[in-house]
Structure 1
C-alpha cells in the first residue's frame, strides 16, 4: 500500500521525525530509508533504541494516528497509474488482496477512499505473526483468496515487500519509489504503473512462468 498504491512514505517520515525529536533524538533521511517497508512493531524497537520512551504498541498507535491525520488534512496521494490498474484488474474479475504492514484501521481509510470495490481482502501488519520481508503476509493473502501462491502476482515498491512476495513464491513485480530494487529478488521491474493494464499483468505472469 504505502509507496505502491499511495505515496504516503513522506507522511510516515514526518511522523517518525516528530516523534524521535520529541524525545530529544535525531532522525535522519537515511534512518527513515532503512525502515521503508518494515513491520511497525519491528520499527518500534528501532525508535526505542533512538530514545523514544514508549512501549511498542503506543509507538505504533501514535505513528499511525499521525499519518492518518495527514491523510485527512492533505488527501490520499495516489501513485501514478495505481488506481487505474487496480480498477482494470477488478473489471477483469481478477481477485485482489491488499498486503500491507500498516494496521487495518489505516488500510481501511485508504480502501474507503477508492471509488469502487477494490479488494477482496486485506492482510495487515497487526494481523500477521511475521512482517515483511518474511513470506507470511503473502502466503496468508493467497490462502485467504483461495489461490495457489504460485499463481499470484505481487506488486511492491520496497526491498522488504518485494523480498516477501518473491520468497513466498509469487511473481514479484517491483515498481521503485524512493528505494532502488535492482539487488532485491524479483521477476521484473517496471519504472511506473502509469499506463499498465490487466494484459500487462497477464503477460508478466506468463513470462515469469514460461
Structure 2
C-alpha cells in the first residue's frame, strides 16, 4: 500500500502498558498494600484497574480494607512502583524506536497518562532523547480516562486539533478516552483484551511500527470522518 502524504498533527501516547510495561508492578504493589491491612487483592481486582484513574483505584482499594486517604494510597503505590523500575525501566517493545522516529521527523508528541506527574517525569527522564513536547498527568485533570479530558488537553497543549492526532493506547478505558476525544486511535493489546470493533485500530505490538504506518492510520481515519460527514 503506498504511503500517503497525510502526516498526523501529533501523536499522543499513553504510558503504563503502552510505553512502559509497569502493569505487573502496579498489581504487585496493590497486593502488598491491601495485604498489609489484612485484606485480599485478586488478579481480577488488579485487571479491573488497568487504564483507570488512580483516584478511582484508591477508592476501590479503600473498599478492600486499606485505611488510608486516597492521596496517601496513590503516593505509596507510586513510590513502590518507582522503586521497582528505578534500575531497569521495562520499556514496551518498539515504543522507544517509534518515539525516536517521530522526533527525528519533527512530529509533535504528548504523553497522556493517568499516573501522577512525578512518575511521568521519571519515565521521561529515563529516555535518552527529548521524547515529549507536552505531558498530561493524572493529577492535572479533573476527569480520568475513559473521560476524553486528558486527550483533549494533550492536543490543546500542542496547539493542534485532536481530530488530527493519532493516540496510542493499550487499555479499554484509555482507548475509550482517545476515541471520545476524537483522535484516531491505535490499540496495542497487552495486559487487557481489546475488541476489533471499538472504534480504533487493534494491533498486537509496536515492534516494526513506523511513521509510515501512522500516516496510513491517520489518512484512513480522516477518510472515515469525511465519509461519516457525507453520510449524515
Q: What's the TM-score bracket when you normalise by the shorter of the two chains?
A: over 0.9
Task: Tell me the equivalent position of 2:155.
Answer: 142
Aligned length: 209
1:63 to 77, 93, 96: 77
Q: 1:125-174 CA distances to partner (integer Å, 9 max, x unpaired)?
A: 00000000000000001111100010010000001100000000000110
Gaps of 5+ in 1: none
Shift of the alpha carbon at 1:184?
6.7
Contact 2:19–2:95, Cα closer than 8 Å, also in 1 = yes
Contact 1:163–1:184, Cα closer than 8 Å, also in 2 = no
Task: Tell me the equivalent position of 2:98.
Answer: 85
The 2-side partners of 1:184 and 1:103 are apart by 31
Shift of the alpha carbon at 1:72?
1.2
SS, match of residue 154 in structure 1: strand
1:20 to 34, 46, 50: 34
**Closer, same or farther in 2 for the Cα pair 1:84/1:209, shift >3 Å?**
same
- Structure ranking higher on relative contact order (CA contacts 8 Å, 6+ apart): 2
User: Which has the larger displacement, 109-118 or 181-190?
Assistant: 181-190
SS, match of residue 86 in structure 2: helix
Task: Tell me the equivalent position of 2:123.
Answer: 110
The 1-side partners of 2:83 and 2:89 are apart by 11
Contact 2:172–2:194, Cα closer than 8 Å, also in 1 = yes
Alignment of 1:155 with 2:168, yes or no, is yes
Shift of the alpha carbon at 1:183?
6.0
Task: Give the alignment of 1:1-210 within 5 angstroms.
Answer: 1-73=15-87, 75-182=88-195, 185-210=198-223
SS, match of residue 78 in structure 1: coil
The 1-side partners of 2:131 and 2:104 are apart by 10
Gaps of 5+ in 2: 1-14, 224-232
Question: Which structure's CA Rg is the greater one?
Answer: 2
SS, match of residue 7 in structure 1: coil
Contact 1:174–1:186, Cα closer than 8 Å, also in 2 = no
